[in-house]
């Protein structure tokens, strides 16, 4: 299950939207570039409290799916600890086989998801939208809707109103349409499959998967995991091993570190570390906006067939530029 924070400019209004902030990408675990080395040196936190890593997604729901080989009935049976079993007929296959799927979730998992979503919204100061298809999955998705509403009314409504934010349930198809046309500034709580699809869609829509942050928040609001949500960029790494030039976007990996360290700073009341994280994230955005970027972003601007070598920096040239700009920024802030 996912909570997708979608950023906006301070002037944006109430409407839900999708102006995603730039984020990060994995360069390779053995990279010894000085900028990443500096980030590692700052990350002196207990490993049991916070992890900064890439390439991991948590799936809170399991399913049993199978091919139905021929005619027959598919049923779901619930056997309570106390009481008589109840059997539900899913489908009677008459003319041939097909496929079937049995899926579940637990109330405790949904409640944890709800608390994490509400905590994220409070931390951001943004409204929260929960999307389901409860008009079709009346019981399954309806359970998500009911639990979220119950928890909001009993535990979070007063806090939300005090911050001038709100919670609202919407149908997933309506929510997707709203996200595409609005200006951002909200947290979007999605069931697992919906979030898996929509998070990548939003990230790519604003440039690249290498520009997407990912912070996993526990229900207590204190424990987080920051990661780069994309894969390991194996193709680029194999080219690097062969001595070939690559232009790999490092922003998501950098933001994985800054978001993790920023939370560490919050826990330790470490203003200097918090300032460093804010400055580094700002440097990443400013560097790209000033025209220095990797090939994936140049392709978004000119179209991949039209990109010339002079339009982008390779991996290490871009990292060097970030390092140069960060050094200037730190000096100007006397850090």
For residue 196, say whether it is annotated as part of any ligand binding site: yes
Token pair, residue 159, equals 């806090």
The distance in angstroms from the start CA to the end CA of the chain is 39
Q: Which residues contact 56 (CB under 8 A, 6 or more apart)?
A: 225, 227
Residue 98 in 3-state DSSP? strand
Tell the residue number behind the tokens 């991996």, with chain if given.
315
The number of beta carbons lying within 10 Å of the beta carbon of residue 136 is 10
Nearest to 123 by CA among 20, 16, 223, 251: 223
Residues 247 and 137: their CA atoms lie apart, in Å, by 44
Token pair, residue 142, equals 């309806």
Tell the residue number behind the tokens 């100007």, with chain if given.
332
Residue 320 in 3-state DSSP? helix
Residues 274 and 286: their CA atoms lie apart, in Å, by 18
**What counts of helices (H) and strands (E) characterise the chain?**
11, 11
Nearest to 225 by CA among 213, 212, 216: 216
Nearest to 208 by CA among 299, 93, 90: 299
Kind of pairing between the strands at 98-103 and 213-217? unpaired
Q: Which residues pair with 215 in a beta bridge?
A: 226
Which residues are annotated binding-site positions for Mn(2+)? 173, 196
Which residues are annotated binding-site positions? 173, 196
């Amino acid at each position: 299950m996912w909570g997708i924070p979608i950023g906006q400019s301070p002037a944006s209004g109430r409407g839900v939207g999708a102006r995603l902030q730039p984020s990060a990408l994995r360069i390779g675990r053995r990279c010894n570039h000085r900028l990443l080395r500096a980030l590692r040196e700052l990350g002196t936190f207990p490993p049991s409290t916070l992890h900064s890593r890439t390439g991991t997604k948590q799936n809170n729901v399991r399913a049993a799916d199978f091919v139905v080989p021929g005619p027959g009935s598919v049923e779901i049976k619930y056997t309570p600890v106390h009481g008589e079993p109840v059997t539900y007929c899913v489908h009677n296959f008459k003319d041939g086989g097909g496929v079937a799927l049995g899926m579940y979730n637990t109330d405790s998992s949904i409640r944890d998801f709800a608390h994490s979503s509400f905590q994220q919204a409070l931390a951001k100061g943004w409204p929260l939208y929960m999307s389901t298809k409860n008009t079709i999955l009346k019981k399954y998705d309806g359970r998500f809707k009911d639990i979220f509403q119950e928890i909001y009314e009993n535990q979070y409504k007063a806090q939300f109103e005090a911050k001038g934010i709100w919670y609202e349930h919407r149908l997933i198809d309506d929510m997707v349409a709203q996200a595409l046309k609005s200006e951002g500034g909200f947290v979007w709580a999605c069931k697992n499959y919906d979030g898996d699809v929509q998070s990548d869609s939003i990230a790519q829509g604003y440039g690249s998967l290498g520009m997407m942050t990912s912070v996993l928040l526990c229900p207590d609001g204190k424990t987080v995991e920051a990661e780069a949500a994309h894969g390991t960029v194996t193709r680029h790494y194999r080219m690097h091993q062969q001595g070939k030039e690559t232009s790999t976007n490092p922003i998501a990996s950098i933001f994985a570190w800054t978001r993790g360290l920023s939370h560490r700073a919050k826990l330790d009341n470490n203003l200097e570390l918090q300032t460093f994280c804010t400055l580094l994230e700002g440097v990443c955005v400013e560097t790209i906006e000033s025209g220095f970027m990797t090939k994936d972003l140049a392709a978004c601007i000119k179209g991949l067939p039209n990109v010339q070598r002079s339009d982008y920096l390779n991996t290490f040239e871009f990292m060097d530029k970030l390092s140069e700009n960060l050094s200037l920024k730190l000096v100007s802030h006397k850090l």
